[in-house]
A and B are shown apart, each in its own frame.
Chain A
Amino acid sequence: MHIKQELNERHTLAVVVDNEPGILARIAGLFTARGYNIESLTVSEITEDKAVSRITIVTSASPHVMEQIIAQLDRLVPVHKVTDLTVLGPHVERELALVKVAGTGDHRIEALRLAEVYRAHVLDATISSFVFEVTGGRDKIDKFVELMGELGLVEVARTGVVAISRGREAA
């Protein structure tokens, strides 16, 4: 007997929650406890009084499991609202990465040139290294990191995806 795999679709969820101790563990733990995937998870306070946070979760699941993920999140006591941005329609997703590249000579010049192409900013420079800040969709950042891999990539820090729906209405 072999374990069967299901076909998954990628979805981006916006989850508005009470900002209280343990909320992140509660959300992340729900995903592990019920066997759901998390591709990325970001969280930050979004109100002035710091009482509410918005969590952006990128997950992949079959449509049936996706429905369950939303229902399971929605019934947690501190969760105000769960929105499936992927289903809702057009939305923008952005991620920020800090990319450290070390090298001299041609590699260094090429890294800087590519950074310009990718509209990355230089946050730190020494005579043998750069730290770039690059924002964009997931694919763009993946590609930038891949290119830097050939040019002396030292390390990468990524924020994970944040997302918001297009148009004037709140999701």
Chain B
Amino acid sequence: MSEKSGADILIEVLTDLGVEVVFGYPGGAVLPIYDALFKQDAIKHILVRHEQAATHAAEGYARSTGKPGVVLVTSGPGATNAVTGITDALMDSIPMVVITGQVPTGLIGTDAFQEADTVGITRHCSKHNYLVKNPAQLASVVREAFHIATAGRPGPVVIDIPKDVQVATAQERSNAPIRHKAYAPQVKADPARIEEAVDMLAAAERPIFYTGGGIINSGPEASRLLRELAALTGAPVTSTLMGLGAFPASSPQWVGMLGMHGTYEANLAMNQADLIIALGARFDDRVTGRLDAFSPNSRKVHVDIDRSSINKNVRVDLPIIADVGSALADMIEAWKRRKHPTPDLAEWWNRIEGWRAVRCLDFEDRKDVIMPQRAIRALWEATKDKAPVITTEVGQHQMWAAQHFDFDDPNKWLTSGGLGTMGYGLPAAIGAQLGNPDALVIDIAGEASIQMNIQELGTATQYRLPVKIFILNNEYMGMVRQWQQLTYQSRYSESYSDALPDFVKLAEAYGWKGILIETPDQLDAGIAEMIAHDGPVMVDCRVAKLANCFPMIPSGAAHTEMILQSAQVSGEMDDEAKALV
């Protein structure tokens, strides 16, 4: 049997695993792998402009296609630049495999050129990681890495490969064994608990489904099953930021996103519910607000594939460890088998409609200036028939997009939820466009966030990716400014976006089309022009500078203490409140 180099083994295993796209950046410690890539054409390599962008592009690819994203970067700075995206993928449970070059094994520990302790640095921001010291182990490590990245709660896995291991040869074993046999997350729920959950659901007077990113991760079938169970029970459905699209926003049972910038009706329904069915959501602090006031009178069922998510922040009455899609199928089956009728929730819906009538997302529309909410709604109106994939950066624009852009399908909404990474949106859009070549992919951005990975304009140009960037330009790091207004008597410390570039000229310099929208009457035409252009477009949409994102539950407040309008906001908070994020 002939021997192959570690680099060749790596490429062969990746090909065998069905990897089509790798996002990467070459460097000294990965030259053998790049040479192996050069000699094949099964895997397409996308050259980014910064390693952080490679990781976010892989996330965007993974989130929009359901396949794991793959990243290839060099040692030292290549690996450390990737750390933000690895952490982002860990927080948002994105399946990703990151291959990093390392200095030759003999030089490890000598402070060699471009050496960093990659396994040490990524140990706690990855789901798992490896340092491969022998090319004979490479095939099994790579196969195991893909298994771990995608099985159970998905996450990023890092494989650090020293340069000599890439060059050295070994016999290739096509069916190399996987070492961590113990790693087998529970997928199927305990049937007794499913029955109990279904009976609780049938008996509840004020039930609500609280769904999260786990539904998206479980695959499109989980979204379909959620719709079916919701229809059977007639209960309202709310979702976290990460779960938007799992349930159609056009459904009358949809009450909007919950949490800090969620809707009044979603948060009040959570607060007043007698039963919460949490499906692939993790009771994040943005969702719960003040813990001791979170849904005080409800019983709680929590379906999650990750045992450590259960009882982490909120005590639940019935934990169900399972893949949420599998649990939903079981719940539907049990509901039908036990012949539960559709419960009469008329009284509950009356109350919800009462909260809905507050119309918490309404905003003061103006003739002289574009309100950011108006811009999002206009973008949605213009694109909703095209089933666009939307990515975002982080901040006010992200929350406005979540509130005002309606999603009817999963895998269309890509955002950095857990880590809150500014600079996520543009590379994620690039990854999503590669995974969905015919889709309309739009990065809804802020003028501050977009500058964090602005160099990726070049990547889109190089690969002729027709991604669109829609910048809500209010000349502020808006969410920082909003918090400073609410908490620090409007002392806007370092939150003004000074020395902004001319985004139109910047776009043109990269071979993009640039569009400036300054007034409300230019909005629809500008958006239409953006959509019509067969290539990448950056829109600089000037919006009201001091608009705030409401409704809002201030940090550490209860769902019932929601701020609906800016008039209710006053100057300074006490130290306890200031200490909360």
Contacts and interface: CB of A to CB of B under 8 A. Distances in A.
A157 interface: no
23 contacts: A1-B575, A1-B576, A18-B182, A21-B131, A22-B119, A22-B131, A25-B120, A25-B123, A26-B123, A29-B124, A30-B124, A33-B124, A68-B308, A68-B311, A71-B312, A74-B308, A75-B153, A75-B308, A76-B128, A77-B128, A77-B180, A78-B180, A78-B182
Contacts, number: 47
Nearest to A1: B575
Interface of A: 1, 18, 21-22, 25-26, 29-30, 33, 64, 67-68, 71-72, 74-80
Interface string B300-318: 0000001110111001000
A77 B310 contact: no
B262 to A, nearest CB: 26
A71 B131 contact: no
Q: Can you list the 9 inter-chain pairs with the closest CB atoms, starting with the nearest?
A: A71-B308, A1-B575, A77-B128, A80-B182, A33-B124, A71-B307, A72-B308, A77-B183, A29-B124
A22 B123 contact: yes
Q: Which of A25, A67, A75, A80 has the most CB of B within 10 A?
A: A75
B575 A68 contact: no
Contacts of A74: 307-308
Interface string B101-136: 000000000000000000110011001100100000
- Taking residues whose C-beta sits less than 8 angstroms from the other chain, chain B's interface range is 20 to 34
A43 B576 CA distance: 41
A53 to B, nearest CB: 13
A36 B310 CA distance: 18
Contacts of B120: 22, 25
A78 to B, nearest CB: 6
Given A22-B119, A25-B123, A75 B307 contact: yes
Nearest to A2: B575
Nearest to B180: A77
A68 B314 CA distance: 12
A10 B128 CA distance: 29
Contacts of A33: 124
B439 to A, nearest CB: 34
B148 interface: yes
A30 B180 CA distance: 19
Nearest to B574: A1
Interface in B41-82: none
A29 B123 contact: yes
B180 A18 contact: yes
A74 B309 CA distance: 12
Given A29-B123, A29-B124, A77-B127, A1 B310 contact: no
Contacts of B153: 75
B418 to A, nearest CB: 15
A68 B312 contact: yes
B123 A77 contact: no
Interface string B176-190: 000110110000000
B1 interface: no
